[in-house]
Amino acid sequence: MQTFPHETDTTATTGSRSGAVLRLLVRNHPGVMSHVCGLFARRAFNVDAILCLPIGDATCSVVLLMVDENERVEQLLRQLRKLEDVIEAEQAPAARRAFAAVAEWMR
Amino acid sequence: MNITGAALIMRLLERQGIGVIAGIPGGANLPLYDALRGSGIRHVLARHEQGAGFIAHGIARVTGRPAVCFGTSGPGATNLLTAIADAKLDSIPLIAVTGQVPRAMIGTDAFQEIDTYGLTIPITKHNYLVRSAAELLEVIPDAFRVAMSGRPGPVVIDVPKDVQSQTVDVDALPAPGVADSRPPLDASDVTRAAALLNGAQRPLLLVGSGIIAAAASGVMRRLAETASVPVAATLLGLGAMPAAHPLFLGMVGMHAARYTNLLLDECDLLVALGVRFDDRAVGKAAAFCPRAKILHVDIDASELGKIKQPFLGIEADVGEWLRAMLPQVAPRRRRAWNTRVRQQRAAYPLAMPGADDPRQPYGIIRHLAAIAGDDVVIASDVGQHQMWVAQAFPFSRPRQWLTSGGLGTMGFGLPAAIGAALAEPARRVVCVTGDGSLLMNLQELATAAEEGVNVTLVVLNNGTLGLVRQQQQLFYGARYHASHFHAAPDFAAIARGFGVAAYDLNETDDPMTALTESLRRPGPCLINVPIAAEANVYPMVPPGAANRDMIDDTNANGGMHADLSA
């Protein structure tokens, strides 16, 4: 996983436009982030950024991932769907804006 | 009812049909053992937790049902890791229940505390750290559901000691966990697949452990016979098709017969069923089946396109898919293709030098097969002996062959054989092993003696790490290092020291009688078979090379074939 870059121009802080943004719905319990991040490390997938927030009554969380992958996105989604705590995994290109919105807190 | 967490675990395991648990007690799982004592479950005391894990492997692999092992916290859990990882790579439904330090001490670096949950994330399908006794009502059935559903695999349940001792008021026990329903079959996929197969001139089936996990050997064979399609198997697919079947081509890959790999190069449609295109099976992936469209069926969608992009990839239970396919498959003779198969088989057969001599590798395996018959279960360790058995033993049914395929764990054989013998006491279980592998879980001879299991250990003893020595000879200019054992343990004496009967072919003029007795006498037994250190497994695909580029003892000159990029 890379650290978030300090540059302020939009392309730098939102990562490569050629990558993908994924949206996961996960069961919210201790360990779920270890499972998700562990999968990326083990399968040598490149993650540029992660956002995670509990939703509703906090039994579930949404995780947004900005990944530096193109050809392997479908394989990545299939691997993510195998995790028991991942309820849904899909591409969400519109969510790229979320990373731009938090960029100012990362300076 | 008021019940402790430990007693609840036992009740729930009983309800899952668990009859035997292998394990070792320790500080953090003593409440569990106290409850085990009063349960209907038989405990088998291993002598190392890795042994316990592989005993559970033996039970699961021979029955196809989940099996359970116990270990305490800290070293108990770390010792289980190899068996758990092995179950992940070979898709074995293994359930490891580990003790953990009490909740209040988690994170304090307490005695025998280790992050079992964190350690087992990458080597399980799923894992649990149980935070209350009440949670067990969900966790235990869920663990079995996960282990059995889809592609089977291992699950770890880490239970803090105070959760084991905690009492909980339970109204009713939950229903036992069962496998999830299978993904729906897409009728149009079946139609497309049938059209592909019916239109193919030179189709070939490649079957892996998924066929055996799905109990689909019978329907696969009917499909192959209907359409006259030759069948090759991966290492873990051996037994899915009887070795003597005229359509069977044997094992594919690094140590396949040359004709098998050459026919894969010629096929125009590869029907890949329950396989994952492991590098030991496919060699250089880009050069595998260069003329073929690939039709890949697997229960695990992430395997479709992971290594080889299929022409048609289908996520399905392979048995259900085959049953849907069968009525749509056109009966064909495929004379030209099957004539070609016969020609290649005759021109490039598997050479088995010494097959008549019980003092040589192929000879001992062929004689063992002749004496032991079809009822025998064969376990192996990892190395040259494993490949010789895979090449030469005539496997005739699924679950007859227990071997560590993906992880390639030396030390697998003896405990796995013990587990198989516990699960199927009416059968003889033969573990073909090497002197290197046997020493990696030798302590389980004590377990074998204690349980009186019908296990025969056939030790192909060459005084080396044979497959390492072979690779040093072929690919490292015969610069041997750390592959020769200078000490030569007396394995027959060691076995007797454990209370296990033993034979030594060094000490007899009548090897056939010794072999026959070792296979027929009740209880555990070891037979030491000294073999030449120079015996190699041929043919061999150099690591990283294409499967067609096999070498054998006529063209294996050290260093010439070295491609060490893989």
Instruction: Indicate the burial class of B482 (C-beta count within 10 angstroms; 0-12, 13-18, 19 or more).
Output: exposed
Residues B12 and B123 reside in one and the same domain: yes
Model pTM score: 0.95
| pLDDT band of B46, cuts 50, 70, 90 | very high
C-alpha span between B547 and B541 (Å, rounded): 6
Q: State the number of CA atoms in the 13 A half-sphere of B501 facing the CB.
A: 16
Answer yes or no: are the C-beta atoms of B359 and B531 closer than 8 Å. Answer: yes
What is the pLDDT at residue B101?
Answer: 98
Strands B155-160 and B525-530: unpaired
Q: Assess if residue B356 is contained within a domain.
A: no
Q: Does B301 share its domain with B233?
A: yes
Max CA distance (Å), chain B: 73
> With 0-12 CB in 10 A as exposed, 13-18 as middle and 19+ as buried, what is B283?
buried
What mean pLDDT do residues B190-196 have?
98
Nearest CA in chain A to B150: A82
How confident is residue A25, by pLDDT bands cut at 50, 70 and 90? very high
Residues B277 and B395 in one domain: no
Assign A6 a pLDDT band (cuts: 50, 70, 90). very low
pLDDT of B224-257, one tens digit each? 999 999 999 999 999 999 999 999 999 999 999 9
Residue B175: both structure tokens together: 């229903």
Which of B100, B121, B130, B135 should one mutate to test binding to chain A, selecting the residue with the greatest count of A CBs within 10 A? B121
For B140-174, the pLDDT digits (tens) are 999 999 999 999 999 999 999 999 999 999 999 99
Number of domains in chain B: 3
Provide, as residue numbers in chain A, all residues whose Cβ is less than 8 Å from the Cβ of B141.
Answer: none
Rounded Cα gap, residues B150 and A22, in angstroms: 24
pLDDT at A19: 87
Q: Looking at the structure, do residues B221 and B130 belong to the same domain, yes or no?
A: no
Backbone φ and ψ of A53, nearest 5°:
-140, 140
Stretch B311-317: mean pLDDT: 98
Phi, psi of B155, deg, nearest 5: -135, 140
State pLDDT tens for residues B4-40.
999 999 999 999 999 999 999 999 999 999 999 989 9
The one-letter amino acid code at B368 reads L
**Same-domain pairing of B219 and B78:** no
The per-residue pLDDT for B185 is 95
**Residue that has been written with the tokens 């509703």 in this structure:** A56
Q: Looking at the predicted structure, is the pLDDT value of residue B280 above 70?
A: yes
- Ramachandran category for residue B250: left, alpha or beta (phi over 0 → left; psi -120 to 50 → alpha): left
Q: What percent of chain B has pLDDT over 70?
A: 98
CB B488 within 8 A of CB B463: yes
In this prediction, residue B556 carries a pLDDT of: 67
Q: Give the mean model confidence (pLDDT) for residues A48-64.
A: 95
- The answer to whether position B197 is within a domain reads yes
Residue B63 half-sphere exposure, CB side, CA atoms within 13 Å?
25
Q: Is residue B182 part of a domain?
A: no
Are residues B231 and B286 both part of a single domain? yes
What's the pLDDT at A62? 97
The alpha carbon torsion through B108, B110, B113, B117 (nearest 10 deg) reads -20
Place of tokens 């059995």: B148
The full set of domains in chain A, from first to last, is 10-106 (3.30.70.260)
pLDDT at residue B565 tops 60:
no
Kindly state whether residues B367 and B311 are assigned to the same domain: no
Same domain, yes or no: B201 and B132: no
Hey, what are B296's tokens? 């890949």
Is A1 or B152 the better-scoring residue by pLDDT?
B152
Looking at the structure, tell me whether residues B122 and B247 fall in a common domain: no
Distance from CA of B136 to the nearest CA of A (A): 16
In the 8-state DSSP scheme, what is residue B424?
-
- Phi and psi dihedrals of B293, rounded to 5? -75, 145
Share in percent of chain B as helix, strand, coil (round to 5): 40, 15, 40
The pLDDT mean for chain B works out to 96
Q: How far apart are CA B70 and CA B124, in angstroms?
A: 16
Give pLDDT, residue A79: 96
Residues present in chain B in total: 566
Asked if the structure places residue B265 within a domain, the reply is yes
**pLDDT for B557:** 55
User: What DSSP element (H or E) covers A90?
Assistant: strand A86-91
Give the torsion through C-alpha atoms of B5, B9, B12, B17, to 10 deg.
-170
**Residue B547 within any structural domain of the chain:** no
Is B306 in contact with A75 (Cβ distance < 8 A)?
yes
Structure tokens at A8: 């302020």
The closest CB to that of A34, out of B121, B302, B305, belongs to B121
Q: For residue B566, tell me if it sits in a domain.
A: no
Boundary (domain end) residue, out of B312, B347, B382: B347
pLDDT reading at B566 higher than 90: no
Task: Tell me, yes or no, if B129 comes closer than 8 A to chain A by beta carbon.
Answer: yes
Within B125-214, strands assigned E span 126-129, 155-160, 167-169, 203-207
A49: phi then psi, degrees, rounded to nearest 5:
-155, 150
Burial category of B35 from C-beta neighbours within 10 Å (exposed 0-12, middle 13-18, buried 19 and up): buried
Q: Read off φ and ψ for residue A24, nearest 5 degrees.
A: -115, 140
Interface touch A82/B302, C-beta < 8 Å: yes
Question: Can you give the three-state secondary structure of B268-293, one letter per residue?
Answer: CEEEEECCCCCHHHHECHHHCCCCCE
B29 and B147 co-located in one domain: yes
Query: Best interface-test mutation with B: which of A29, A35, A72 has the largest number of B CBs within 10 A?
Result: A35
A12 vs B337, residue with greater confidence: B337
Domain presence at residue B458? yes
> Would you tell me how many other CB atoms lie within 10 Å of the CB of residue A92?
16
**Residue to test with chain A: of B302, B308, B314, most A Cβ within 10 A:** B302
* CATH at B230: 3.40.50.1220
CB contact under 8 A, A84 and B126: yes
How many Cα neighbours within 13 Å face the side chain of B485?
16
Amino acid at A26: V
Residue pair B491/B438 in contact by the 8 Å Cβ criterion: yes
> Which pLDDT score is estimated for A9?
37
DSSP string, B302-341: GGTTTSS--SEEEES-HHHHHHHHGGGSPP---HHHHHHH
Provide the chain A residues 34-93 that lie in CB contact (below 8 A) with chain B: 34-35, 38, 42, 74-75, 78-79, 81-85
- Whether B373 shows a pLDDT value over 90: the answer reads yes
Residues B376 and B512 in one domain: yes
Expressed as residue numbers, the domain containing B93 is: 2-169
Task: Kindly report the CATH number assigned to the domain that includes residue B157.
Answer: 3.40.50.970
CA B455 to chain centre: 17
Residues 533-552 of B with CB under 8 A from A: none
Q: Looking at the predicted structure, is the pLDDT value of residue A103 above 80? A: yes
B83-111 tens-digit pLDDT: 999 999 999 999 999 999 999 999 999 99
Same domain, B379 and B337: no
Helix (H, G, I), strand (E, B) or coil at B359: coil
Q: B562 pLDDT band (50/70/90 cuts)?
A: very low
For B537-549, letters b (16+ CB in 10 Å) and e give: bbbbbbbebbbbe
B129 → closest Cβ in A31, A35, A74: A31
* B437: DSSP letter: H
Sheet (strand B429-434) strand order: B401-402, B377-380, B429-434, B455-461, B525-530, B501-504
Whether B314 is in a domain gets the answer yes
CA within 13 Å, CB half, B214: 29
Structure tokens at B402: 């227990």
